Amino acid sequence: MATRAGITSPFTSRSTAADVIAGIDLTGRRAVVTGAASGIGVETARALAGAGAEVTLAVRDTAAGDRTAKDIRATTGSEGVRVAALDLTDPASVRAFTAAWHGPLHILVNNAGVMAAPESRTPQGWELQFATNHLGHFALTTGLHEALTAAGGARVVSVSSSGHLFSPVVFDDLHFTERPYDPWLAYGQSKTANVLFAVEAGRRWAADGITANALMPGGIQTNLGRYMDDARMGLFMTHLRALLGEGTPLPEMSFKSVEQGAATSVLLATSPLLDGVSGRYFEDCNEAPLHQPGTNTGVAPHALEPEAAERLWQVSEQLLD
């Protein structure tokens, strides 16, 4: 139901993917989940498969993907779980994945990501987090556009983060060639890009029946945090204090289970409440309000700007050309 506060659901931060998808039948639907060999990607794929969808685990490590697929088949009874190689930092790998896809695609969950990585660039010179979290998913989704259109009512789900509050997309220095590298500003920029992509995809592809939304899954202890040493945690706290403002007490750190962390992704991918809804940002299974000073929740205005969304799309096409 729509309210002045946005799209709401009966689900909360404590809801699990199984709670959200209960009673939903995805028989005959086809889904792709990137980064589905670990973390919330596994539970997202498991929920979709358990509801009857044919699910492709798009993963860089296919051996890990095979182990995950075997586990999902065992726990859901579904034989419709397959594994396909996808390296989001390699345009050739993305092209191979999209070229091999045949038939409609009803659900695409752009879940894979890297957080606070050391400074690194792809062979093209792209900053690693921007390349992985945004450009790879941009190339994948646009490459699957015909398949999404063929599905009639397809949904694209873009896993972002509250880290988007740390930085807009800095178009004049996307790859940190002019400014000192900061792993959290790079992460924040890439997560803002995830939201802007949903905004522009929703606008461009509305006539194709495709909707796109972004989300913050919540704090979950997964291998996404593999770079979180003391130095990076200290830098994170510095950015968080700057975001909250002088004198604002730090929020308590609370973590979700992976099953809870996957809930908002599954909601956006499957819930009838999201029929026709596009270009929005959700957290804890509800549409997020605009970010308010002194908080670390909500969606930043810089992540919803139509002009920035259109510019990012154009820049992304140019980089991948």
Q: Is 181 a catalytic residue?
A: no
The answer to whether 17 and 45 are in contact (CB under 8 A) is: no
What the block records as the tokens of 293 is: 């000073």
Of the residues 181, 187, 227, 281, only one is catalytic, namely 187
Residues 6+ apart with CB under 8 A from 164: 188, 191, 192, 194, 195, 299, 300, 303
What the block records as the tokens of 194 is: 């995830």
Among 223, 114, 122, CA closest to 161? 114
Residue for token digits 């988007």? Answer: 164
Report the catalytic residues: 187
